[in-house]
Amino acid sequence: MNAVRLQKVIADAGVASRRKAEELICQGRVTVNGKVVMEMGLKVDPASDHVKVDGRHLKPAAPKAYVMLNKPKGVLTTLEGPGADDRQTVQSLLKGIKQRVFPVGRLDYDTEGLLVLTNDGELAQRLLHPRYHVPKTYLVKVKGVLDEAQIRRLEKGVRLSDGMTGRAHAKKIRKTDENSWIELTIFEGRTHQVKRMLEAVGHPVLKLKRVRFGPLTLGALPSGEYRFLTDPEIHRLKDAAAGGEKLAS
């Protein structure tokens, strides 16, 4: 028996993300061999057990897909269709991708840059888990000009409402009389973290763009466009998320 957690089987079939699959299970919308299952962590054999979601049999696991998108400013990081106010979502930028892929983390509505999407739930969870310290690098335009003491504060950690931030790397890129650009690399994934860190040192963010995620760099990918990752990029991404453990290919 090749036992796999039920939520992973649902996610691998492309029905929903693993977190959403857990919600479906809790809502009683999943059956295994004709019986409603609401037990989290139950393992099933995809080859022999009959799994249904909302009365429909799961399709065979979709081939793994790994995508890099250059998310424009003014686009929601969601696949649920237009927002309540009809704002554009990243779903509208993914035409041509046959598999249902999900964003690895989020970029704010007014943040642009590198967004990874995949249907590899195990990899996505590891990339986001604080245990593995996957770095994320941003180009940040801020109001005013940071001094060296403020740069050191960003690197050593600043106190936010949810505690001290961890280590970071910060360096000045360029400046004008009224604002400046810095490159900031963080190893956490708190909500609005970069914006809150800069606010904490007295320099509100005016523009924010993610240019690197783990071993991946945005490069010359045009805004609003996507591309599939190359095999070497996928291997490097898995290495970054492995934390000393081998991930399945």
Residues with catalytic roles: 108
Which DSSP helix (H) or strand (E) runs through 242?
helix 231-242
**Nearest C-alpha neighbor of 117 from the set 70, 75, 83, 174:** 70
CA–CA separation, 61 and 120 (whole Å): 11
CA–CA separation, 24 and 30 (whole Å): 7
**Nearest C-alpha neighbor of 158 from the set 119, 180, 190:** 190
> What's the N-to-C CA distance of the chain in angstroms?
20
Q: Mapping DSSP to helix (H, G, I), strand (E, B) and coil, where does residue 213 land?
A: strand
Neighbours of 49 (CB within 10 A): 17
CA–CA separation, 84 and 129 (whole Å): 30
Query: Torsion angle of alpha carbons 101, 105, 108, 111, nearest 10°?
Result: -80
**Parallel/antiparallel/unpaired status of strands 112-118 and 205-213:** parallel
Q: Which residues of 28-45 are buried (b: 16+ CB within 10 A; e: fewer)?
A: ebbebeeeebeeeebebe
Q: Is 7 in contact with 58 (CB distance < 8 Å)?
A: no
Q: Mapping DSSP to helix (H, G, I), strand (E, B) and coil, where does residue 40 land?
A: coil
